[in-house]
Amino acid sequence: MGCCASAASQKEPVTVDGKLFLIEMPDGLCDGSKTDWGVVYEKFLLDLGIAASGHPSIVSVIADCNFVVSAKQDGLPNTWGYIAFDKTVGRYWFGQKSLNKRMRKEIESIELKATDLDVKTITNNSLKKVKSNLSIGEIMRLGKPIENEEGFLVSAVARMASGDELLDVYLTTVTFIRNRQIVTFAIYQRAVNELNLYQVRSIGKQFLVSLSDP
């Protein structure tokens, strides 16, 4: 993931549905919302969520610190992602243990019925609505989900197509609850080799552990 002056993990204030929380950014990751890329990416995430009939709230746009402090900021960050929640889901009153059980069953159902194609179709339809030339190919879970009293982690590989160009990415998401909202931390890297999968999974694990810190 690389190192830079801001590589050490640090607590960042974030607001979830009007309430302030401190979230620990994993090592080497920084808030990227003020970069040109971050502004475009946040708008893309908002438009995509709205096109999917959601009401997204982007808590933070994340990029590797080397990219954020770079004077050029060309292209994509090596590592990127977001923290967000969807207001249409409403408040969740049953706690993380119940949410973990629900997510575990949902993953089992998807894998048994192969409904990952439905997820792909929904996403692609939303991308078309925002007139994006990006589309999602196959999505496959990698490794076993990890869960604790603070969150639920899952990793996957996804294929994205933009025109004639194909881009495979590894991703890890951590789903957790803050202020009764179901919040998602998502992190991505290009799927160049297994090291990228190890890195996004390690980032996710670090974030999951940090949620239990005072």
- Cα distances (angstroms) measured from residue 78 to each of 69, 175, 187: 13, 22, 11
Residue 119 domain flag: yes
pLDDT at 75: 76
pLDDT computed for residue 20 by the predictor: 92
Residues with Cβ within 8 Å of residue 182, at least 6 apart in sequence: 85, 86, 89, 92, 99, 175, 176
Q: Does 21 map to a domain?
A: yes
Considering the domain boundaries, does residue 4 fall inside one? no
Give the residue, 72 or 20, on which the prediction is more confident: 20
pLDDT of the residue at 26: 95
Tell whether 172 is covered by a domain. Answer: yes
- Average pLDDT of the chain is 82
Of the candidate ranges 26-30, 130-134, 172-176, 198-202, the one whose mean pLDDT is the lowest: 130-134
- Total of domains in the chain: 1
> What pLDDT, in 10s, does the model give residues 92-121?
888 999 999 998 888 777 665 554 445 455
Cα 135 from Cα 125, distance rounded (Å): 9
pTM of structure: 0.84
Q: Give yes or no for residue 196 having a pLDDT over 80.
A: yes
Domain membership flag for residue 23: yes
CA atoms within 13 A on the CB side of 140: 7
Q: Which residues of 193-205 are buried (b: 16+ CB within 10 A; e: fewer)?
A: eeebbebbbebbb
* The 3-state secondary structure of 22-75, one letter per residue: EEEECCCEEECCCCHHHHHHHHHHHHHHHHCCCCEEEEEEEEEHHHHHCCCCCC
Backbone angles phi, psi at 135, to 5 degrees: -140, 160
The whole domain housing 178 covers 10-210
In percent, the amount of the chain with pLDDT more than 90 equals: 49
Sign of the dihedral through C-alpha 152, 180, 50, 15: negative
CATH number of residue 173's parent domain? 3.40.1000
Residue 1 placed within a domain: no
**Dist CA 101 CA 76 (whole Å):** 35
**Which residues pair with residue 63 across a beta bridge?**
30, 80
pLDDT of residue 134: 46
Per-residue pLDDT of 114-168, as tens digits, reads 544 454 554 545 445 545 554 455 678 888 999 999 999 999 888 776 666 778 8
- The model's confidence at residue 6, banded by pLDDT at 50, 70 and 90, is very low
